[in-house]
Amino acid sequence: MTRILALLLLCALPVGAYAAAAPASPAGAPQSDDDKLMFAIGEILSGSVKPFALTEPEMKLVQAGFGAGMRGKKTGIDVEAYRPKIQALLTSRTTAGMAKTKAAGKAYRDTAAAAKGATTTTSGIVMTTTKAGTGASPSAEDEVKVNYEGTLTDGTVFDSSFKRGQPATFKLNGVVPCWTEALQHMSVGGKARVVCPPELAYGDRGAPPSIPGGSTLIFQVELLDIVKAPPPAAAAPATPAMPATPATPATPAAPAAPATPATPANPQ
């Protein structure tokens, strides 16, 4: 859905347009359901243009271009000619933004690793136990039940089972590598703070629009239960082959009838 909205938005963005600015938004937060619906459309669209990292003056021009495109207003600008420049700008700013995000993540992990009680795995995960568990520890093949909250290094919450009021259950080897490894160091009933480097989370691709590419992720995790993987089913014994049916003995041939003796010739 985000990709479709992004394409629609790019169709309506003559960058650098000098069209009149779109009408100002009503003051205050939206109140009615209809207003909230329109506001939600705006928030969704914002996720499509967020990677451009627009400045305030650029934002006003984008808003003006969007308004002109929505109203079908002729601006005298060849939008099609700007598409390659739009893509080049997106690539340039995404690359710069990712470099900044990675640098901030590295600084965050270094600080977290130096904190009292923190341990760092050989792969680079920083873990701090906030409550020791007393139960078993899962293996990668197990299914686990957890409560968790995930944030970016700036504190932005991108996912939370606590807020949903419903623990999550999943196969441990079916999630990001950071979780697969980190939860095997926990015990049921335990809680931990897990700091994941980007290469063990969503990498350079990120998980737009909530998680930018190159993001270090921080999880507060509570391991509630383990559903052990079932033992492999025993192979069924091979069915013995049926003995071959003995061949029916051949019926002996009847003895040949004796030849009839020749009639002797009459004596002369």
Per-residue model confidence as pLDDT tens digits over 31-86: 899 999 999 998 888 888 888 999 999 999 999 998 999 899 888 999 899 999 99
DSSP class of residue 199 equals G
Task: Name residues whose C-beta falls within 8 Å of residue 143's C-beta, 6 or more positions apart in sequence.
Answer: 169, 170, 171, 172, 226, 227, 229
φ, ψ for residue 217, nearest 5 deg: -115, 145
- Is residue 140 within 8 Å of 179, Cβ to Cβ? no
Mean pLDDT in consecutive groups of 10 residues from the start of the chain, 268 residues? 45 40 54 91 87 92 91 90 95 94 98 98 98 96 97 97 96 96 98 98 92 96 90 68 58 53 48
Can you read off the two tokens belonging to residue 242? 């049926």
- Six-digit token pair at 108? 């965050």
CB 68 within 8 A of CB 19: yes
Choose among 203, 247, 238: nearest CA to 102. Answer: 203
**Residue 134: its pLDDT value, please?**
95
- pLDDT at site 246: 56
| Model confidence, pTM | 0.69
Q: What is the pLDDT of residue 241?
A: 62
What's the pLDDT score for residue 50? Answer: 85
Quickly list H helices, the chain. 2-11, 33-49, 56-71, 79-114, 161-164, 177-182
Rounded CA separation 60/24 (Å): 11
Give the pLDDT of residue 250: 56
